Amino acid sequence: MEKYRINPDKGLEFGIYTLGDHLPNPETGERISAQERLKEIIEYAKLADQAGLDFFSVGESHQEYFATQAHSVVLSAIAQSTKNIKIGSSSTIISTSDPVRVYEDFATIDLISDGRAEIIAGRASRIGLFDLLGYNVRDYEELFEEKFDLLVKINEEEVINWEGEFRAPLKNASVLPRPKNGFLPIWRAVGGSPASAIKAGYAGVPMMMAHLGGPVSVFKRTIDAYRAALQSRGFDPAEFPVATAGFFYAAETSQQALRDMYPHINEGMKRTNGQGFPKQHFAQGVDPHNIMNIGSPQQIIEKILHQHEVYGHQRYIAQIDFGGVPFERLMKNIELIGTEILPAIKKYTKKK
């Protein structure tokens, strides 16, 4: 765990992530400019840092209604304006990037942030960026596997000799600069299915599991599959952190939380995926055994502690801002996390 800058004795880590979506606020129909949205995201990271949260990450999406295509540039600004919080991507689409350039960027962010940068590498849930960036979607799987392997190799070896299908060979190449402590935590992003988790296990890398909603117990199968795959390849699961990522919203009551959040999720998903989120499914999100962390601060504390008991994971990251959520509501959520939720979670999950 230490290798990945995680100390489980200190309790479950709590973070925030944004996909960098740039959607209208359905309550007003208005959309702020991309510039305002980017500045809000940087401000959001600052608040998370000040509230004592452990992690903040920004996603890479190249489709319409997103603003953080150049997510590493955004993270660089966040590196400069925060002090203690760990920062990362959620996710970096390694399939359509050059791992050498990605590593250079994140090692640089690591130096600027004084050793706080991490990479979460994913395969992209939408495929428009393959056309945009000049890749063939038929190579979807191989592009990811080859480039992810190379990224991990660059992290582990200072002098690289490598040959592959999708990039020119590297001969005695040094990828510089090196990160502050010589190594970056590099996670594999997993969409929630066991089949995908197994690949992270085979690769012997930490797993970041994203989820929409559903029973906590169903996602346990994914985490079990990951740990079993680690073991099958001779890795010790106790050395590899697991993180979960999903919707979060705290308000005075669970009903208020549902009211505040639902239109943003529903309208945002209609625009980005073409289908809304059924109310029936969303209403189940407040159930103590549903993985969505929506409710009053006390209910959320209980939900997260239940998840921790079932998963034994090391980090949870919350998505609060999807779908044009007004900034004052994000501020309120950070405040509730910092003053009520985080202290309780740390208290009950740290080693005594």
Partner 1 sequence: MKIVGLSGSKVGSKTRTAMNYTIEALVAKYPEVEVTLIDLAEYNVQFSDGRNFLEYEGDTGYVTKTIMEADAIVIGTPIFQASIPGTLKNLFDLLPVNAFRDKIVSMLVTAGSAKHYLVAEQQLKPILSYMKAQIVQTYVFIEESDFHRKEIVSDDVLFRIERLVEDTVVLTEAYGKIRAEKDAEYDF
Q: Residue 282: which H helix or E strand, with range?
A: helix 279-283
Q: Who's near 218: CB < 8 A, 6+ residues apart?
A: none
Nearer to partner 1, 7 or 273 (CB): 273
Q: Are 242 and 187 in contact (CB under 8 A)?
A: no
Measured from the Cβ of residue 306, the count of other Cβ atoms closer than 10 Å reads: 14
Q: Which residues within the stretch 108-127 sit at the binding site for partner 1 (CB under 8 A)?
A: 126-127
Distance CA 248, CA 315 (A): 14
Task: Out of 165, 274, 351, 352, name the contact with partner 1 by CB under 8 A.
Answer: 274
Stretches 37-45, 51-59, 69-77, 273-281: which one binds partner 1 (CB under 8 A)? 273-281
Q: DSSP secondary structure string, 36-53? A: HHHHHHHHHHHHHHHTT-
How far apart are the C-alpha atoms of 245 and 241, rounded to whole Å?
13
Q: Using CB under 8 A, pick the residue from 208, 216, 229, 258 that binds partner 1.
A: 258
Single out the residue of 262, 311, 316, 322 in contact with partner 1 (rule: CB under 8 A).
262
Which of 137, 228, 269, 310 binds partner 1 (CB under 8 A)? It is 137
Residue 222 C-beta: closest distance to partner 1, Å: 19
- What is the nearest approach in angstroms of partner 1 to the Cβ of residue 132? 11
283 binds partner 1 (CB under 8 A): yes
Q: Which of 44, 45, 54 is nearest to 313 (CA)?
A: 54
Listed in sequence order, the residues at least 6 apart from 32 whose beta carbon sits closer than 8 Å to its beta carbon are 40, 324
Residue 320, interface with partner 1 (CB under 8 A)? no
How many residues line the site for partner 1 (CB under 8 A)? 16
- Which residue in 169, 215, 278, 343 binds partner 1 (CB under 8 A)? 278
Q: Give the position of tokens 């504390």.
A: 301
By CB under 8 A, is residue 247 in contact with partner 1?
Answer: no
Residue 172 interacting with partner 1 (CB under 8 A): no
Interface contacts to partner 1, rule CB under 8 A: 126-128, 137, 255, 258-259, 262, 273-275, 278-280, 282-283
